[in-house]
Amino acid sequence: MLKRINQDIIMSDKVKFEIEFVIQASPQLLYQYISTPSGLSEWYADNVNSRGEMFTFIWDGAEEKAKMLKRKSEEFVKFSWVENEDSSFFEMRIIVDEITKDVSLFITDFAEDDEVDEAKMLWENQISDLKQVLGSK
């Protein structure tokens, strides 16, 4: 379920956007799927390999490299695409509502101004795959 969308213009040509999805899974399990090559291979890319902080994401035979900039167990991961000259990144943050204990995955990403809707749809499809892998609704 899509809960919130925000947009801000950054200094490059790219637009920052944020999307929040409710995920019915424990933060511990969800973190394994957003922070490890094997977890990311289940839903984000066809295959993911890592060597230290460098991750290689493979889609339809094409490779994209990203560096894991930051991570905190059961809370978030932040990647930067190696090929990009700008300061864009993508981050997946796990948020647990203190009252309801609902778990959400909060995505921050960047896209060209005319590609934001397409990028959001891509995330929605990928999160749908993640939910299926997790057995979440």
Q: Quick: pLDDT tens for 33-45.
A: 999 999 999 999 9
Is the pLDDT at 31 greater than 50? The verdict is: yes
Task: Give tens-digit pLDDT for 70-91.
Answer: 999 999 999 999 887 677 799 9
Tell me which residue of 30, 28, 43 sits closest to 127, measured CA to CA: 43
pTM of the model: 0.87
- In the chain, helix, strand, coil percent, each to 5? 30, 45, 25
Q: For residue 63, what pLDDT is reported?
A: 94
